Amino acid sequence: MSVPPFSCRILSAAVALYLVGLLCVGAGDVAPKDGAAPKIPGCTNEYQMVKVKNWVDGENGEAFNGMTAQFGAILPSDLDKAVKLPVVLTTPLNSCTNLTSKLSGSIALSVRGECAFTAKAVAAQSGGAAALVIINDKEELDEMACTEQDTSLNLSIPVLIITTSSGDALKKSISQNKKVELLLYSPKSPVVDYAVAFLWLMSVGTVFIASVWSHCTGPKKNDEQYDELSPKKPSNDEDGAEDETLDISATGAIIFVISASTFLVLLFFFMSSWFIVILTIFFCIGGIQGMHNIITTLITMRCNTCGQKKVKVPMFGNVTILSLMVLLFCSVVAVIWFLNRKASYAWVGQNIFGICLMINVLQVARLPNIRVATILLCCAFVYDIFWVFVSPLIFKQSVMIAVARGSKDTGESIPMLLRFPRLSDPWGGFNMIGFGDILFPGLLICFIFRYDKENHKGTVRGYFPWLMFGYGLGLFLTYLGLWVMNGHGQPALLYLVPCTLGITVILGLVRGEVKDLWNYGTPHPSPSDVNPTPPA
């Protein structure tokens, strides 16, 4: 018994479409400033991430990071305004009582424990310290918050915390009677990093390739068919291509967005590392399927005879050796990426799998006409705005951003995002765009490409060039809005829907083709059906 040729492809595409719909994270939704945190009543500052440069006996050491408290002075953001000062260990080391060490004009180095952070800061300032650096008891930067009882504090020195390893290295150097100096400053992250240009290119390129893929790789009349594990080509007609598609209905579009919202809330309340791992496994399966389809299609386009040798595989029947080899290669790549998904370079594999997955989804899931496209995109439009702007009023934070960030404890994060490193940000991090912001407009653009092709519109009279321009413009406006709003999350569909669906409707009205676009693919009753001939 063999699996139907296109069942695996439709199943993986359906699962992938559902997963990405759960997290149509906007292009600016995951661009928070590192170290930023909401103010607590009674505190005056936001947390600042701090760059700590150090010198031991005049030799420049490796810089490390720290984080300021919600009390004390603000550190300069400009390196030129920062002052290099010597470091002195406090006596007692916990800095909980009056200090006996000479701290005037120096940075006090203390350890965590036995009293409140504010008490340590008061003791250090009373001893004449210019700043207080607290060594944490673990390899993390814990928040040093103050309470409403601390509002009367008059602290004029900066207070920051560093990790155990960084602090132990400083203590060791001081205990060896070496001169240790520190320079503290807090550089600001740019609101929009220029690396977003690469995200823009990846997003626009994915939509363009997915739109023209079937046209450029479509079967010729004399081509051989693919086997069960690779994209199947019809022999002499186009019906086989239609069998491999899954049309989205109006009802399905509404149910899809509602179920995605429900699942997003469940993820928000019950998120755990194991559940994110399960989503990551589904992502890998979809990525394997997409990469397999793309590679086998490209190889057989260049070498028609490569897909002729077959072997019998249980459950799948006769499949080509090429298909099995490509499937093995894709699976190995997926396993390697999964095991190294937390590495600094893992974003490359995530983007490759994500792009392949989305191209595959856009080949299988299709919009039949503008009526269904309007329902789907309008629902997604409301969905994106609600979960970015309205959800913080209900859940005290943006549900979409919280889910996209993943688990802080384990470092696991949702993989349904394209990521690119923030190149001009001193704190690193990533610019991101959710799959939903590519797939939802992409479904419309793919339909428009088919419409232009089937109606012989050409480039000048076609809709496709205008929608590609509109999609690129919408992404540009998203990042412009992110810059204007000073880094606050922006739902990308707020800009993408008007710039794609809006352009389609306007052009349709100008050209008098809105009715045809709206009901495209719907069978019209023939005159004989409307006015049947009476029987003789």
Over its C-alpha atoms, the chain yields an Rg (Å, rounded) of 29
Q: Is 29 a catalytic residue?
A: no
Q: Are 217 and 301 in contact (CB under 8 A)?
A: yes
Alpha carbon distance 61, 87 (integer Å) = 14
Instruction: Provide the 3-class DSSP secondary structure of residue 189.
Output: coil
Alpha carbon distance 31, 484 (integer Å) = 14
Strand ranges inside 333-424, DSSP E: 365-366, 417-421
Partners of 292 in beta bridges = none
Instruction: Provide the 3-class DSSP secondary structure of residue 124.
Output: helix
Alpha carbon distance 314, 228 (integer Å) = 12
Alpha carbon distance 129, 123 (integer Å) = 9
Alpha carbon distance 144, 161 (integer Å) = 8
- The active-site residue out of 150, 193, 425, 437 is 437
Alpha carbon distance 440, 376 (integer Å) = 8
DSSP 103: -
What is the phi-psi region of residue 98: left when phi exceeds 0, alpha when psi lies from -120 to 50, beta otherwise?
Answer: beta
Q: Are 136 and 161 in contact (CB under 8 A)?
A: yes
Calculate the dihedral angle through the C-alpha atoms of 410, 284, 282, 411, rounding to the nearest 10 degrees.
10
Q: Which residues contact 415 (CB under 8 A, 6 or more apart)?
A: 279, 280, 283, 341, 350, 354
- The active-site residue out of 384, 409, 425, 452 is 384
Alpha carbon distance 42, 392 (integer Å) = 22
Alpha carbon distance 455, 391 (integer Å) = 43
What are the distances in angstroms from CA 41 to CA 44, 145, 388, 431?
8, 10, 24, 31
Q: Is 80 a catalytic residue?
A: no
Alpha carbon distance 304, 311 (integer Å) = 17
Alpha carbon distance 397, 99 (integer Å) = 42
The bridge status of strand 107-111 relative to strand 246-247 is unpaired
Question: What positions carry a catalytic annotation?
Answer: 384, 437
